[in-house]
Structure 1
Amino acid sequence: MDITRDVHSQHISRQFNQELEALKTHLMTMGGLVEKQLKEAIIALAEGDSKLAAYVRDNDEAVNALQLQLDNECTRILARRQPAASDLRLVLAVIRATSDLERIGDEASKIARNAITLSESNEAVRGLIEVRHISDHVRHMLRDALTAFARFDTQLAVSVVREDELVDNEYSSAMRSLVTFMVEDPRSLSSVLNVMWILRALERVGDHADNLAEHVVYLVKGMDIRHSDADTLEQVNDENA
């Protein structure tokens, strides 16, 4: 059964309604924090701002705390309310989503650590154009995935899933370019390796944004689209028509 934005307001228990709404609100809060971390990690890299990078690195604990809070809220709802149908899917989707958001926070922290290393090396950094391009792409995916979750929008979620393949292609192209550059100039080995780690972190952010979008489809449609082909994704869109 599909769910809509209003389905969770139909419970007799006002307290249960509030608990479900709090889950969604707290998940969006966590998503907003992770978005901010990722944005600031990229700014720190581009501007050589080691102070901002250190702030992003150290602020990872705030994301971890929100994950623990949401996990506890979900556990309480499962134990006390024994939710079924769409309510159960909401709780499970939130549990899965918080795990992906926490890992995106970890990737932002990795970017920040590498940004510090690069800023301290005082070397010219190769690959920043590729980093900026892919970071814009995956940040857009993350924003759309969170919007899809907030709106129960499976059409937007499917568009995020489709974007992940494009990010993978961009990542592969950027890595080939950097490998070629290292071969031509072995002195750049250290800095290029740091940029490669940053690109890898961004590619993983795209994977986790893809996961978030898949959780939306599961939540709304009850469909597991992990490892699905193009026809299955098209079926989700057809059902929205």
Structure 2
Amino acid sequence: MKIVVIGAGGAMGRRVADRLERRGAQVVRAHRATGVDAATSEGLTAAVDGADVVIDCLNVAAATEAKAVAFFEQTAANIADAAKAAGARVVLLSISNASDPAVNAKMGYYKGKARQEQVYREKLGEQLTIVHTTQWFELALTMSEQFALGPLAMMPHMVTAPLAADDGADVIVDVALGASFAGAASIQVRGPERMDLLDVARQARKALGRKGKVFSLRFGGPGLTDGSLIPDPADVITSTTVKRWLATL
């Protein structure tokens, strides 16, 4: 089985590509460093030619809603067209409830993901499976470091049911290989515990020996703190707890 991983240079894309190869798939790692740019379509048609499945793990560091929406809209259209021409199924990684206005009202990145989902659905219909996951534990570290100043860090309250990125990658691989949820249009994946990512950030930085405090940052609106980030019901509840994840740092 030939599987193309778009965004294979990123945190999730690498995990997915590695797991697919270990399970015997023919993997094409498609990202800018390998000559594939989904935003411009450079190298995209050649990469997807003959593929059975295309997995979209793209990410973008977009500071504004306009940039996030433009990026995800364009890349989704380009990838969908290439996949349709090749007769390939598409598996899209997205965020649980990102398309809910209560969640994305003040989150430009989430509005971009919502538009990405919409474009894929319009173009591919039943040829698409979306794997929605809650936020990863790893995001707590990433965000707290983005908003760090010396020993001090900031992190917004995000009440969610976070999961380890490794567990999310396992689900995506199973879906791509047809080992689970065959023919499903949408799959909801969450971690085992409801918690605030702010607390995860504090615990993770402590585990890494980082000095200084993590302060709460007012950001994103009530949709980030009232439980709207957690899918109900969830199709998959992953097993790695925050305690187990912290032990791997």
Task: Work out whether the TM-score is over 0.5.
Answer: no
Bigger radius of gyration among the two = 1
Task: Decide which structure has greater strand share.
Answer: 2
- Relative to total residues, which structure has the larger helix share, 1 or 2? 1
What TM-score, normalized by structure 1, do the two folds share?
0.32
Q: Normalising by the residue count of structure 2, what TM-score does the alignment of the two structures yield?
A: 0.32
Q: Which has the higher contact order (CA 8 A, sep 6+)?
A: 1
